[in-house]
Structure 1
Amino acid sequence: MKTGKLIKTWDFPTAVKRVEFTEDGNFVLGTTEERMGHLGTIVVFPVNSDIEGEQVDEPSLRITCETKKKAVVAAWSYLGKYIIAGHEDGSVSQYDAKTGEQLLNVPVHERGTLIMDMQMSADKSYFITASKDKSAKIIDVKTLNILKKFETDTPLNTAAITAKKDFVILGGGQEAMNVTTTSARQGKFEARFYHKIFEDEIGRVRGHFGPLNTIAVHPAGVSYASGGEDGYVRLHHFDKGYFDFMYEVERTRAQH
């Protein structure tokens, strides 16, 4: 982090779609694509905290996914206890992070619709998914029960949970191949804000001229960044009105 020096390269026969460190930085996972006779996998490598020390060459854990059920995204749960994976068929799996055993597999999105993104809450006890079936869902890490559902009128590529406020931000839009023939408004390229508890849409932010591919919220909840198919990264800082906003039910409760 201090020098930007490359300390290790792991090579794979197919594309790596997602990487993520555990909270303590002692392990990193990656998801690989199913291509050219190679099955999709989730691999875990231990990381030597001494950057001058040797890094291992082989993964400490390899989870091989079934054909047509490859892992598109994966993430660590709280304390690195589970690996949660979102699959190509719209299901979500929970794996034991030590043994790789699949403990649960639950159909979450419409069958055959890709789970495009998965982001954990700050305490990693629940997470949000985004899917091509035009919905995002908040799911409990331990049980994989669906806690909240957010429905839109456009395929979703990304979803994020905000800090401080009970909101989620969703992004997506019309498929990239059709963008050149579609206006920004028709393509539905806005970042969409929903209330995390009541599931209602509360606002939209325009700016991109193509589908939103990824959204990341600042850990302190003061801003968010979005990356789009148009080649731009847009950084948005929340103003005072955002933090003062109260849902009508919240306002009534506060008054009493």
Structure 2
Amino acid sequence: MDKKKAAVPLVCHGHSRPVVDLFYSPVTPDGFFLISASKDANPMLRNGETGDWIGTFEGHKGAVWSCCLDSNALRAASGSADFTAKLWDALTGDVLHSFDHKHIVRACAFSEGTHFLLTGGFEKLLRIFDLNRPDAPPREVDNSPGSIRTVAWLHSDQTILSSCSDIGGVRLWDVRSGKIVQTLDTSSPVTSAEVSQDGRYITTADGSTVKFWDANHFGLVKSYSMPCPVESASLEPKLGSKFIAGGEDMWVHVFDFHTGEEIGCNKGHHGPVHCVRFSPGGESYASGSEDGTIRIWQTAPVNNAESESNSGNGPTKTGQSRVVIDEIGHKMDGIHIDGELKAGEKENV
């Protein structure tokens, strides 16, 4: 990307409070999709290419900290400050199951095989729910040294990755034994941890540093200092030649993976950037901010004829239950999102 050219993003409105997590589905026969978590308690589903709003998942009573889609984008999951993780039907918006916890759920992730849902949060526990038996008690993995901030699966669901909100490092857990087998050391708490699409790298953001780790041998491959404290980073999935990072300065920075040189800087958010993610094909990337918006940026410079007003891709009213489909080819016509967020939403922590 030419650093001198200003990229014009697609701006996705709809959330009424900060956007704190984003997740892209893999490419499906119907395209790919983007789900967002927000402190407004209402996860939203969008067309991943256009940013067009598809629907809002209603039912949480507290801030939603984490969200994800399964590999077919047929189910969604979310973790919330209301002490629950919810499993959703991504076609109808219905709650398929609500998993009770004893404290705030900070992170959730579907297993690669999509049969399990992993959660973590303030209880310092990892829970593994069997989605084929959702009413069965989950498997619990304890001994996390701190409150869990992020979780991920790797090695064909044989290893779990987790980081903590209050202490540095990334822990790698053997699923069979439930023991920590490796710790990736960082000086600051890891606020973002992503396994690359090809399974080669773990990308972490901690403090003012973005690091890349070998996902198989766990050695540190690269470490780059950032221009400001960053909350999130993501590696381009196809060529792996660039990465993005966002944080306190409200900008989305683009860097060369091999040299760490900044090759682009996208301005437009009006608050700190809490999360950044590349689309599955690497042709675009999304950022979510304290300002309540999601912005989708093209990897290559876009035509300046496109403007921000080109894409006010949000519902006309946050939380409205009738889902409007903008003919994206997805089998979701006329769906109704059940559940109603009650007044007096529990304040997030």
Instruction: Give the TM-score band, short-chain normalised.
Output: 0.7 to 0.9
Q: CA deviation at 1:240?
A: 6.1
Q: CA deviation at 1:170?
A: 0.4
Give the distance between the partners of 2:300 and 2:127, measured in 1 at CA: 41
Q: Which amino acid aligns with 1:117?
A: S
Find 2:148's aligned residue among 57, 60, 71.
71
- Tell me, which stretches of 5 or more residues in structure 1 are unaligned? 34-38, 49-53, 174-187, 242-256
TM-score, with length taken from structure 2: 0.57
Confirm or deny that 1:100 pairs with 2:178: yes
Which residue is 1:31 aligned to? 120
Check whether the contact 1:20–1:76 (CA below 8 A) recurs between aligned residues. yes
Look up the SS of the partner of 1:7 in the other structure. Answer: strand
Aligned pairs for 1:82-101 (under 5 A) are 82-87=159-164, 88-101=166-179
Check whether the contact 1:118–1:130 (CA below 8 A) recurs between aligned residues. yes
Confirm or deny that 1:46 pairs with 2:125: no
Q: CA deviation at 1:217?
A: 1.1
TM-score, with length taken from structure 1: 0.77
Look up the SS of the partner of 1:10 in the other structure. Answer: strand
Check whether the contact 2:107–2:148 (CA below 8 A) recurs between aligned residues. no
Confirm or deny that 1:80 pairs with 2:80: no
Confirm or deny that 1:217 pairs with 2:217: no
Find 1:191's aligned residue among 247, 252, 256.
252
Q: CA deviation at 1:74?
A: 1.5
Aligned pairs for 1:146-225 (under 5 A) are 146-165=220-239, 166-173=241-248, 188-225=249-286
Confirm or deny that 1:55 pairs with 2:134: yes
Check whether the contact 2:106–2:148 (CA below 8 A) recurs between aligned residues. no
Give the distance between the partners of 2:246 and 2:151, measured in 1 at CA: 19
Which residue is 1:231 aligned to? 292
Query: In percent, how many aligned pairs have the same letter?
Result: 24
Aligned pairs for 1:231-250 (under 5 A) are 231-239=292-300
Give the distance between the partners of 2:100 and 2:134, measured in 1 at CA: 13
Look up the SS of the partner of 2:277 in the other structure. Answer: strand
Check whether the contact 1:189–1:212 (CA below 8 A) recurs between aligned residues. yes
Q: CA deviation at 1:137?
A: 0.4
Q: Which amino acid aligns with 2:193?
A: M
1:66-123 deviation digits (Å, cap 9, x = unpaired): 3xx333211101311211112332111111022211111232x21xx22111111002
Which residue is 1:9 aligned to? 98
Give the distance between the partners of 1:140 and 1:47, measured in 2 at CA: 30
Which residue is 2:205 aligned to? 130
Give the distance between the partners of 1:238 and 1:139, measured in 2 at CA: 24
Which residue is 1:252 aligned to? none
Bigger RCO of structures 1 and 2 (CA < 8 A, at least 6 apart): 2
Q: CA deviation at 1:229?
A: 0.6
1:207-245 deviation digits (Å, cap 9, x = unpaired): 11111001121101111111001111111123368xxxx
Give the distance between the partners of 1:7 and 1:215, measured in 2 at CA: 28
Q: Which amino acid aligns with 1:105?
A: T
Structure 1 stretches of 4+ with a deviation exceeding 6 A read none
> RMSD over aligned Cα, in angstroms?
1.7
Q: CA deviation at 1:57?
A: 3.4
